[in-house]
Amino acid sequence: MSLAVKDVLADDAVSRYVRHLRAEKNASEHTVRNYAHDICQFAGQLWGQESKTPFPWKGVDRYAARRFLAGSQKAGMSPKTTGRKISSLRSFYKFMVREEIVEVNPFSGLLLPKRPKYLPNVLSIGEVSKLLQAPAKMWEQDKEARGSEVSGRAWRDYARWRDAAILELLYSTGMRIGELAGLNDGQLDFLSGVVKVRGKGKKERLCPFGRPAHQALRNAVERRNLFWGVLGKGGTPPGLFLNCRGARLTTRSMERFMKKYLAFAGLNPNLSPHTLRHSFATHMLDAGADLRCVQELLGHSSLSTTQIYTHVSVERLKQVYEQAHPRA
């Protein structure tokens, strides 16, 4: 039987570290799971899949840390994934040094693999418009296939505006798909046109949204409430966006239907919802928005993360120059 995360969590040092992440670092459950999985993988590689707690963390040296790095690279993991695993273990050992569980951090000073530089995929303003118009056109064509019964009509009307609102909100605010999936009605302020977004590290920020997103959201909420009543559910809906069974819509569902709309609009169906976030940032900077403002709207903790979009804008300027200048 292979070593499981629940087995590693039984280790006193690991359980204390997980409590530290939740209480002091205010880490999300997604982050906690990733860190625990990385520690589990390291323990399994170092002491074997049949190893038992408590683990001899003191006996780990820098050579063991390097072997783990080399093993991750040989397994074909991307530099980004490998870097995250090393960062997870470096943070874990930093905590153990502070708590005097171990004396040294074997991952301190270990060079992370160099991540390749890349420019994010960005849609043009015209392509974004095509995508945002796709739900209305596609659901109009699909009207007959959905039936004429009351529940079918209520679902069709809601799904059309729900999908439009999701795409509009992603592009209007630049929020992450996970942030959008977790939205509740109380986070929307229609009067001031802002949404309170809970981002990474449970940090909250305010994101304004434009008139098209405002109208789509109004229509989506109104039709969602009608659909909720047709389903015969009691109480309030569990989230801002629902699936056909009345449960909160997941990020995977949003990714799937976006691919459908991308294909319908004649765009690359392999693009992800994050492309709208990239497009939001690039179009804002192209129009002269301040880099610090874009950083705040995106919820980036570091300005250097936002600066990649300035590179995208420069690349676009080069393309226009090469196409238009007679001596380019």
List, by residue number, the catalytic residues.
176, 200, 274, 277, 300, 309
Q: Degrees (nearest 5) of the Cα angle 153, 227, 154?
A: 5
Residue type, 143: K
Token pair of 135 as six digits: 């739900």
Q: What is the DSSP letter of 242?
A: B
Query: Which residues lie below 8 Å from residue 95, measured CB to CB, with a gap of 6+?
Result: 16, 17, 20
DSSP annotation string for 153-214? HHHHHHHHHHHHHHHHHHHHH---HHHHHT--GGGEETTTTEEEEE-GGG-EEEEE--HHHH
Quick check: 218 and 169 in contact, CB under 8 A?
no
Quick check: 151 and 218 in contact, CB under 8 A?
no
Quick check: 134 and 265 in contact, CB under 8 A?
yes
Query: Which residues lie below 8 Å from residue 246, measured CB to CB, with a gap of 6+?
Result: 227, 228, 231, 233, 237, 238
- How far apart are the two ends of the chain, measured CA to CA in Å? 63
Peptide bond into 113 cis (omega under 30): no
Residue with tokens 């403002």: 293
Count Cβ atoms below 10 Å from residue 235 Cβ, excluding itself: 6
